[in-house]
Amino acid sequence: MHIVTGGAGFIGSNLARMLIERSGDDVMIVDDLSDGHKFRNIADLKIVDYLDKGDFLGLLKSDTAFALDVQSIFHQGACSVTTEWDGRYMMRNNFSYSKEVLHYCLRRNIPFIYASSAAVYGASDQFVEAAENELPLNVYGYSKLLFDQYVRRLALTAAQQVVGLRYFNVYGPREQHKGSMASVAFHFRNQLQEDGELRLFEGSDGFGDGEQLRDFVYVDDICELNMWFFQHPGVSGVFNAGTGKAQSFNDVANAVIDWHETGRIRYIPFPDGLKEAYQSYTKADLANLRASGCDVEFRAVASGVKTYLDILSG
């Protein structure tokens, strides 16, 4: 059995789907369905069980064994709202909870593959997994960085696998519940359908209107990456999870317009307080990922957005 925390969320539900489709193995989902709308992400999945994240934490703390052998825990659960400034909540949810899941896995030699974030790099223009490049702009990024630092101090045995994946800008199906935190591809599509106008931010940090650059990565490629590490239990560490290429917000907008064969772009000012905490440039350095032996390929924006919109319209 595989356990996917955050399994009713965006990346978690896609990962659960891929695990079921590829292996036919049992998958248990752990999540918090206080927002019941997320049920739609897992309604079509034949999962073996569901646990609330609080009940799951209780079982971990009691060191309870599960009825089925646990092959892996993919820890995708977190508060990913970059505008959340309740640091106590963020650290309890993203840092302390993650430590409990990690140590359960270490005690039982269960592969532990978890979601980190490119938010750890903040305003840096160097995206190599090294301390000198890591200075988050928000408490979400800090919560992820602190856990990465905790993991780096571990002395693992040959039987233990711990992998952190620093997700860059992920987009794709099953993200509709995320609201303002959903991808720009999702919002651009909705804006176009509402009034034919895609709204992008004006220029910042020396970039022209809509020309800020991000490493946009399609969700299935992220799931493939998680699968690759599970299939290679001898590989541990913290790795970037992106395409290794930076593309502009204009590129995403134009891919949406091309698919619909209509639409126009308008540039708008940044909301108050956002500009100072905004990453204008991200680009995953994949040297360490490739050195690990990982050969997962990542699709470009034009291809990923087309696949995404094909699914949304299906």
Where do the domains of the chain lie, and which CATH numbers do they carry?
2-169+218-242 (3.40.50.720)
Catalytic residue among 50, 150, 178, 245: 178
Residue 178 annotated as catalytic: yes
Which of 9, 160, 196 has its CA nearest to residue 73? 160
Question: How many CB atoms lie under 10 A from the CB of residue 164?
Answer: 27
How far apart are the C-alpha atoms of 38 and 16, rounded to whole Å?
14
**Which tokens in the block code for residue 42?**
């897992």
Q: Angle, nearest 10°, between helix axes 301-313 and 249-260?
A: 40
The single-letter code of the amino acid at 7 is G
Residuewise pLDDT in 10s, the chain (314 residues): 999 999 999 999 999 999 999 888 899 999 999 999 999 999 999 999 999 999 999 999 999 999 899 999 999 999 888 878 899 999 999 999 999 999 999 999 999 999 999 999 998 999 999 999 999 989 999 999 999 999 999 999 999 999 999 999 999 999 999 998 899 999 999 999 999 999 999 998 899 999 999 999 999 999 999 999 999 999 999 999 999 999 999 999 999 999 999 999 999 998 877 777 677 899 999 999 999 999 999 999 999 999 999 999 98
Residue 140 annotated as catalytic: yes
DSSP-derived secondary structure letter, 55: H
Reported pTM: 0.95
Catalytic residue among 97, 140, 167, 218: 140
Where does the chain have alpha helices with state H? Answer: 10-23, 53-61, 87-90, 97-108, 139-152, 184-195, 219-230, 249-260, 287-291, 301-313
Q: State how beta strands 216-218 and 169-171 pair.
A: parallel
